[in-house]
Structure 1
Amino acid sequence: MANNSSSGRQLKTLETAAELVDIIQQQSGMSIESLAKELNLAESTIHGYVKTLENNGYLVYEDGKYHIGLEFLNKGGHARTRKPEYDFIISKLEDLAEQTGERVQFIVEENGKAYYVHTSIGKNAVQVDAHIGKVIHLHASSAGKAILAHLPEDRVKQILNQWGTPAYTQHTITSEEELLEELNTIQERGYSISDQESISGLRAIGVPICSQSSGHPLGAISLSGPAHRLKGEWFEQDIPDIILAVVNEIELDLEYH
């Protein structure tokens, strides 16, 4: 049976509903009047969208504004656990966070973007916006670059053509040529480095978790912390060695689990 995921016409009504939900999330709640202005649609049209979404649990009305509803949590919880490998990988992250004292993330690629599937917080972890479900461009994070480095070249080009390489900070690699060179280095080295490329003042090490049979990445583990603490031998050798050992164990366990 043919895969039609990239073919077929898009439905304008669904595009509008998705845009409406995105705006409500970004603004932490919106009124019908504000949504109508933002989307340049009649209030009666917006009312139809929000009531349909509300009736199905995707929006909730509080204090004069519509907010994201918990039905998204229901769907997100299913998406997060639908692959049994994810639960096994996640179970290994608490020990890694405890051992290093830093923040550890499990990130996967879907539709050309990086999604935070899990975060474990060590005792010294800094507070950053790394919530479960967060979405960022792959090129701007250590985990994302680790994943890109182990995808087929044509898939990497497709992702870069679709989403580009926007700058998150002044340190983000935005040149496609420079990025491709770094991906080759990551593939040879086995891990990636982010030096304040997604958040100023934050460094990270990322290691891909690859299927032993296909070689394709299931996702990547990254460890992040403040630049003043993640430096020298601790950052350049100790942390990579620790994460590589954990990933090696995970890959072996997944292969024979």
Structure 2
Amino acid sequence: MNIVKKPGYAVDSVDRALQLIMLLQERDWLRITDAAKALDVAPSTAHRLMAMLVYRGFALQDDQRRYCAGPTLRTDPAADPARSAATIARPHLEALALSVRETVNLVERVGVTARYLFTAEGPQLLRVGNRTGTVLPAHLSSAGKAILATLPEPSVAQLYTGRQAQKTGGSLAAAELEGLQRELAEARTRGYAVNLGRTEADLAAVGAPLATTDRPAALAVSISSPLSRSGDIQQPQVIQALHATCEAVLGDLQAEGVPPSP
């Protein structure tokens, strides 16, 4: 039996990232303080490492600021509905990206966050890049707002003012919540939500939910573009293609028995 020795050229940051991945695989949930202690580094260092793992899909963060293994580490799609949904949605998202020539995303809402499960990049040279693994505030992203718009107003208010929101720092002030409720009302009327520079200064996006008639949505599809093309992605033919993709993905999820709702 060969003994594997630590290489003399070992890169400490890579080693720590790999140790962090192992911790995510061993534990159901991991907090930054626990990760920092296990790696013997400062919490700020552990946070930077974890942020990169989230960005690349190796980790996911919930609304209690805990981390778990992300879709990249979950090799069995059947054991992970979100990964299974991404696998089923992929051909539809890739087709939409080619059709509208912009980047397309499948997004899941967990608590007050919007998590990007899969990205199909558009073919244009100037485009929005891969967002797989990215976690954004749900009330700012187009996909997050599209999903929130399928909830009744009292449920949205509870989500952003209840005890859990206060505890995790996800609460909104009264004026912010009022503005969000107005945006969600507009999204319900239009059938899609809009993000114009809210999450990134030069980014625009439109999102529509994978909604059934009897339950709120948990997933949405969004189209992202540079802000300079924000008018293009709101054209009727683009929105029609977005809705058609949502219907196609929803149909395939239901046919495969994958729940599109919480």
Class of the TM-score when normalised by the shorter of the 2 chains: 0.5 to 0.7
Structure 2 unmatched runs, 5+: 1-26, 47-57, 59-68, 257-262
Query: Is the contact between residue 139 and residue 165 of structure 1 (CA under 8 Å) also seen in structure 2?
Result: no
| Inter-partner Cα distance in structure 2 for 1:37 and 1:206 | 33
> Does residue 1:18 correspond to 2:31, yes or no?
yes
1:208-223 matches, cutoff 5 A: 208-212=209-213, 214-223=214-223
User: What is the TM-score of this pair, normalised by structure 1?
Assistant: 0.64
Aligned to 1:249: 248
1:23-62 matches, cutoff 5 A: 32=40, 34-35=41-42
Pair 1:23–1:93, CA change in 2 (3 A): farther
Name which of structure 1's ranges 104-113 and 119-128 shifts more when overlaid on structure 2.
Answer: 119-128
| Inter-partner Cα distance in structure 1 for 2:34 and 2:172 | 25
Deviation at 1:222, TM superposition (A): 0.4
Letter in 1 for 2:245: V
Helix, strand or coil for the counterpart of 2:228? coil
1:123-182 deviation line (CA, Å, top 9, x unaligned): 11646565322111101110000010002334322332211359xxxxxxx721111011
State the number of aligned residues: 198
Aligned to 1:82: 80
**How much is the aligned-residue C-alpha RMSD, in angstroms?**
3.5
1:143-182 matches, cutoff 5 A: 143-161=143-161, 162=165, 163-165=170-172, 175-182=176-183
Aligned to 1:136: 136
| Inter-partner Cα distance in structure 2 for 1:74 and 1:201 | 28
Aligned to 1:99: 99
1:196-224 deviation line (CA, Å, top 9, x unaligned): 11110211110100135x33213000001
Letter in 2 for 1:194: N
Deviation at 1:96, TM superposition (A): 0.8
Aligned to 2:15: none
Pair 1:21–1:231, CA change in 2 (3 A): farther
Query: Is the contact between residue 102 and residue 127 of structure 2 (CA under 8 Å) also seen in structure 1?
Result: no
| Inter-partner Cα distance in structure 2 for 1:211 and 1:37 | 42
Aligned to 1:200: 201
Larger radius of gyration: 1
Letter in 2 for 1:177: E
Which of 1 and 2 has higher RCO (CA within 8 Å, sep 6+)?
2
Letter in 2 for 1:142: S
| Inter-partner Cα distance in structure 2 for 1:237 and 1:115 | 26
Pair 1:110–1:237, CA change in 2 (3 A): same
Aligned to 2:55: none
Would you identify which runs of 4 or more consecutive aligned residues in structure 1 move more than 4 Å?
Answer: 21-24, 36-39, 71-81, 125-130
Pair 1:23–1:122, CA change in 2 (3 A): farther
Query: Is the contact between residue 138 and residue 145 of structure 1 (CA under 8 Å) also seen in structure 2?
Result: yes
User: What is the TM-score of this pair, normalised by structure 2?
Assistant: 0.63
| Inter-partner Cα distance in structure 2 for 1:87 and 1:36 | 34
| Inter-partner Cα distance in structure 2 for 1:180 and 1:211 | 21
Structure 1 unmatched runs, 5+: 1-13, 25-29, 40-57, 59-70, 167-173
| Inter-partner Cα distance in structure 1 for 2:94 and 2:115 | 19
> Does residue 1:229 correspond to 2:236, yes or no?
no
Q: Percent identity of the aligned residues? A: 24
1:222-254 deviation line (CA, Å, top 9, x unaligned): 00111212325x524232121012212333444
Deviation at 1:121, TM superposition (A): 0.5
Letter in 2 for 1:18: R
| Inter-partner Cα distance in structure 2 for 1:235 and 1:22 | 43
Helix, strand or coil for the counterpart of 1:92? helix
